[in-house]
Amino acid sequence: MINRFLLVLIVFISGRNLHAQIVHAGVWTGYQDGITVGSIALRNSIMYVNTFIGTARVDPLTHEYTYLHDLGNPDLPDFIDLNLSTIDSSGRLWMFQNQQLVYIDTDLSIHVAGPEPKYLVTSLKSDLNGGIWAGFFTPYVDPKTGEAIAKFNGLDWEYIDVGALGLSVEDIAFDGQNNPWFTAGSQMYRFNGSAFEVVKDNGAPVFGSSNLAISNDGRVAGAGGFNTSILRYFNKTSWKTIHTIGFSYPVFDENNILWLSDRYGSLYRMDENDMAPQLVINSAINFRTGDEDYVTGMGLDQTGQLWIGRYNGLFVAQDKTINQFDFVPLTDLLVPAPHPYVAAHGDTTWLATGAGITRLINDQFEKINVPQTNISAIFYDEARKGLWVGSAGMLGFYKGDSQTLININPLLKDSIFYNKIHEIKGDGLGNIWFRLYEGLLRYNPSGEWKPFFIGSELPVSPNGAGYFSINNKDNSVWIRTNRYSMGGFLIPPRLLKITGDLVTDTHFDVDILTEYGAFAVISDSVMWFSGYPDVLLYDHGVKTEYIPGTLNNEEFIVYNDSTILLCSNFGLYVFKSGQWFKPVIPSDRIFNDDVYPAFLTSEGKLLMANYPLLVIGDLDDLLSTLTTAVPQIEIPELHYFPNPVHDFLHIDPEFIQKCPDCRAGLFALNGVMIKSYPDPLPSEFDLSSISAGLYLFQIRSGEKLTRTLKVIKN
C-alpha cells in the first residue's frame, strides 16, 4: 500500500531493445558496450579508434573492426595515441614507436620510416599529398630555437625556423595550396610561400586554438583547447570571433560546410550566411548515457558520414540532416555505461546512472524513460515486487507498467535541507530503509513512513556506501556517524543501533570508528571494519587486522557468518575459512578490477558493476574455485631479508631518515598483522617476542607501499 503523498503516472516506457552478445569465462558472464574511446584518426575510408582495451581499425561502411592485438604481430602496438598519429593520402597510419617514425600500411603491416625528431612532438599531421609534418614543444632556454615545425623527407626531418621562440604547436592543417598552418599557444601561424607569419585580423593576431581545420575553398576554423569558449572562423573574406559553449574538433565537409561538436557531443554547423553555429543534433536526446561522457574525437569519412568518439563509445551520423546518432559497438559485449547503481531480481537486472535506467532481461537491454533526474540509488523490493528509485527529494516505485512518484519532503517533517537518497536497503521484516544525509527514512509493510534523524550536527556521510548496515539475524539497523569539529570541540564518531523505533548509542570503540570507514555487522559482538590499508575483524573484543590487498571505496557483503565479500575500486576480495582470497576475473582485455559497487541477489548471483563493465557470476561456483589463497599483501618490491633474524631486524638508517612519516607492520603470510610500528620508526625493530617462522615486514609512507621484506625468524 503506497498511497500517501503520491502521484501515480503510467509512463514506464522502454526504448528500443539492444541485443547483448555475451562472453562466458568460467563462472563469469560479461556484458559491455560503451568502450571508452580515447582518440580517433579518420581519413577517407580508413579509421582507427583507440579504446581502453586496445586500438582497432574500423571499416566506416560495414562497421567491422579489427584490434591490432588480435593480429599476432608482436611489432604492432596494442595501444596508439591517435592524437599523435596521422593518416596519409594512401591510408597509412603514421606514429612514433621506440624512438622511431613508423607507419601501419593498409594491410596492417608495420614499417620503420625514419628517426623521431629531436624535439618533443606535440602534433603529427599529413598534408594533402601525403607528406608528414610534426609540430614541437620547443625549449625557452638554451638551446633556444624557433624550429617549431618540421617535414619528413623520407629519410630524416627538415626543421623550419618559424621566427618565434618557446612555442608549443597544438595542431597543424593545410590550405588548398598545401601550405601548412599551425596553432601555438594563443596565436595562429601560416606559411606564405617563403616563410611562416602570424595570422592577423585588421593588424591584430588571431587567437589560436588546439583544433584547426581548413576547407578546400579557403575557410578556416579554430576551436577548443587554449580558448575553449571561442570559435575563430574565417569565411574567405573576414574573421569572426564567436563566443561558444565549448566547441571543439571543427571539420569541413565536401561542400565546405563547417561542422562542430561541443564537449558533450551535440552537433552544430555554420548557417548559410556564416553567421553563427546552429544546433543539428542534441546529444541529450540521441546518446544513451548522461552528459558526463565527453567527446574525444570527430571526423568525416569519404561518404560524408560524421563520426564522434566519446567516453561511452563510438557513434556515427549517417545522415547529418536527421537528428540521429547511431551507436557503433567495438566489442561483442554490450551494456550501457557507466552504471554506478545496480539492482537485480531473477533474470532481470537494472542499471542506473544520473541520466536514467537501463533494464537487462533475456540478454537484451532496454532503456527505460523515467521522469526522475539525478538518480542516486535503486533497490528491488521482493515483497512488493517493484523497483525503488531514489533521487533528490523524490522516490519512484516501478511495478509492471505503472510508476508511482513520492515526494519525500513532507515525510521528513523536521528537515528538507538534505533530502537526497544515497542508499536503499531492505530488512527481513519487509521494511525498506532509505539513507539520507541526516539519517534514515523507513517504510514498513503497513504503508507507514518514519524518519530517524541523526541530525545535521552528526551527519551520515553522503558519499558512497558502507556507513549503513543491516544485521539480518535480528533485523537491526546500524549507522556509523562521522567525526566532526564544532565550536572548537572534536565530536567523536558513534555507532548507533536501531531496533524497532528505538535508536541506541552502542558506545563502541571510538578508535576503531575513527580509523575505519565501511563496516558490516554479523552480530552485536562480531563486526568487520575496513579502512586503508587494512581490514579489522572485531570478534567479542578481540581485534584481528588483515591486509587483503589494495583498498578504496570498500563495501562489505555478508554471505554468511564465515564468508565475507569485500568490494573495492581495486578488486573483489573474499574471506573464507580464515583466509583472504582475490578471485581471478579472466581476461584483462574484457574484465578489469574496478568492481565497485557490487550486489548479491537472493538467487546467489553476484553482480559487479562499474564503468564500463558489468560482470555476473554465480557465487557458489565462485567460492568453489577458491582453492589456493592469493598472497594477501600486494608487493611491488619483495626480497628476502639477508640472513635469518634472531631478536632484531635492522633497516638502513639512511632509508629511515628519508621516510620520516613512515609506519611499519609485521604480518603472517596469511595477512594477519602480528605487530605494528608507528612513526617515527627506529632503524632497529625488536622481534624477540615473535615465534620462529617466515613473515612479511612492510613499510608504508602515507598510502604508498615503500618496502616489503620477507623475514626469516630463527
Runs of H (alpha helix) within 265-305? 283-286
Residue 617 lies in a domain: no
Bridge partners, residue 563, by sequence: 560
Q: In what order do the strands lie in the sheet with 46-51?
A: 37-43, 46-51, 54-58, 65-67
Rounded distance, CA 522 to CA 357, Å? Answer: 33
What is the model's pLDDT at position 701?
64
pLDDT score, position 28: 52
Segment among 216-225, 435-444, 574-583 with least mean pLDDT: 574-583
Residue 386's pLDDT is 94
- Facing residues of 378 across strands? 389
Q: What is the per-residue pLDDT for 640?
A: 43
Q: Taking all residues of the chain, what is their mean pLDDT, rounded to a whole number?
A: 78
Question: Of 132 and 695, which is predicted with more confidence?
Answer: 132
Whether 510 maps to a domain, the answer reads: no
Higher per-residue confidence, 182 vs 402: 182
Residues contacting 3, CB < 8 A, separation 6+: 447
Confidence of residue 123 (pLDDT cuts 50, 70, 90): very high
706: left (phi over 0), alpha (psi -120 to 50) or beta: alpha
- Going from the C-alpha of 210 to that of each of 67, 157, 173, 224, 355, the distances in angstroms are 29, 23, 11, 5, 30
Count CB atoms within 10 A of the CB of residue 548: 28
User: What is the DSSP secondary structure assignment for residue 36, as one 8-state letter?
Assistant: -
183, β-bridge pairs: 171, 188
Looking at 67, 85, 116, which one is the last position of a domain? 116
For 262-276, 438-452, 524-538, 594-608, which range has the lowest pLDDT when averaged over its residues?
594-608
Burial of 253 (0-12, 13-18, 19+ CB in 10 A): middle
- Residue 450 contacts residue 427 (beta carbons within 8 Å): no
Distance CA 445, CA 480 (A): 26
Answer yes or no: is 548 within a domain.
no
The pLDDT confidence band at residue 131, using thresholds 50, 70 and 90, is very high
DSSP-derived secondary structure letter, 120: E
Residue 705 has a pLDDT of 54
Residue 398 buriedness (CB in 10 A; 0-12 / 13-18 / 19+) = buried
Cell of 296: 574525444
Among positive and negative, which fits the CA dihedral 113, 118, 122, 127? Answer: negative
pLDDT of residue 111: 97
- The per-residue pLDDT for 229 is 67
State yes or no: pLDDT of 593 exceeds 60: no
The three-state DSSP-derived secondary structure of 495-557 is EEEEECCEEEECCCCHHHHHHCCCEEEEECCEEEEEECCEEEEEECCEEEEECCCCCCCCEEE
406-416 pLDDT tens trace: 998 888 765 54
Backbone angles phi, psi at 605, to 5 degrees: -95, 135
Lowest mean pLDDT, pick from 16-20, 88-92, 621-625, 677-681: 16-20
High-pLDDT (> 70) share of the chain, %: 74
Confidence of residue 333 (pLDDT cuts 50, 70, 90): very low
The model's confidence at residue 632, banded by pLDDT at 50, 70 and 90, is very low
pLDDT digits (tens, 9 = 90+) for 483-495: 766 666 777 888 8
Residue finishing a domain among 116, 139, 166: 116
The pLDDT value recorded for residue 650 is 74
Mean pLDDT computed over 10-24: 37
**Gap between the Cα atoms of 174 and 182, Å rounded:** 9
Residue 706 has what pLDDT? 60
pLDDT at 645: 63
Residue-wise pLDDT for 133-176, tens only, equals 999 988 765 667 889 999 999 999 999 999 888 888 999 999 99
Q: Is 146 left (phi over 0), alpha (psi -120 to 50) or beta?
A: alpha
Q: Which residue has the higher pLDDT, 640 or 156?
A: 156
Straight-line distance from the first to the last Cα atom of the chain, in angstroms, rounded to the nearest whole number: 69
Q: Tell me: pLDDT of 127 over 70.
A: yes
Average pLDDT of the residues in 388-411: 89
Q: State which H helix or E strand residue 654 sits in.
A: helix 653-657
- Tally of domains within the chain: 2
Residue 573 located in a structural domain: no
The reply to whether 663 falls in a domain is yes
Give a yes or no: residue 651 inside a domain.
yes
| pLDDT over threshold 90, residue 556 | no
Lowest-confidence range among 181-185, 577-581, 667-671? Answer: 667-671
Report the predicted TM-score, pTM, of the whole model to 2 decimal places: 0.54
Give the long-range contacts of residues 150-157, CB within 8 A, separation 24 or more: 150/117, 152/101, 152/113, 152/114, 154/113, 154/114, 155/114, 156/114, 156/115, 157/114, 157/115, 157/117, 157/118
Range of the domain at 660: 638-713
Residue at which a domain ends, from 67, 101, 116: 116
d(CA 470, CA 105): 60
Beta-bridged to residue 316, according to DSSP, are: 307, 326
Mean pLDDT of 25-29: 51
61-83 mean pLDDT? 92
What is the pLDDT confidence band of residue 557, given thresholds at 50, 70 and 90? confident
Distance CA 116, CA 194 (A): 26
- pLDDT reading at 466 higher than 60: no
At residue 569, the pLDDT reads: 62
CB 369 within 8 A of CB 400: no
| pLDDT score recorded for residue 473 | 76
**Mean pLDDT throughout 685-697?**
77
The closest of 493, 485, 501 to 460, measured between CA atoms, is 493
pLDDT attached to residue 149: 96
| Cis amide linkage into residue 548, ω under 30° from 0 | no
Give the pLDDT confidence score for residue 590 in this predicted structure: 38
Question: Running DSSP on this structure, what letter comes out for residue 620?
Answer: H
With a cut of 60, say whether residue 379 has pLDDT above it: yes
Assigned C-alpha cell, 469: 548496515
Which of 58-62, 88-92, 116-120, 336-340 has the least mean pLDDT?
Answer: 336-340
pLDDT 10s digits, 186-231 = 889 999 989 999 999 988 998 878 899 999 999 999 987 655 668 8
Let me know if residue 80 belongs to a domain.
yes
Please say if the pLDDT value at position 461 is more than 50: no
**Backbone φ, ψ for residue 70 (5° rounding):** -95, 0
Contacts 24+ apart (CB under 8 A), 89-98: 89/43, 89/126, 89/128, 89/129, 89/130, 90/130, 91/43, 91/44, 91/45, 91/46, 93/41, 93/46, 93/48, 94/124, 94/126, 94/132, 95/124, 96/121, 96/124
**Average pLDDT, integer, range 68-95:** 94
**Residue 77: inside a domain:** yes
Higher pLDDT, 458 or 40: 40
Query: Strand pairing partners for 656?
Result: none
- In the predicted model, what is the mean pLDDT of residues 590-603? 57
The residue ranking higher by pLDDT, 157 or 283, is: 157
Report the share of the chain in percent with pLDDT over 90.
31
Q: At residue 363, does pLDDT exceed 90?
A: no
In the three-class reduction of DSSP (H, G, I as helix; E, B as strand; rest coil), residue 159 is classed as strand
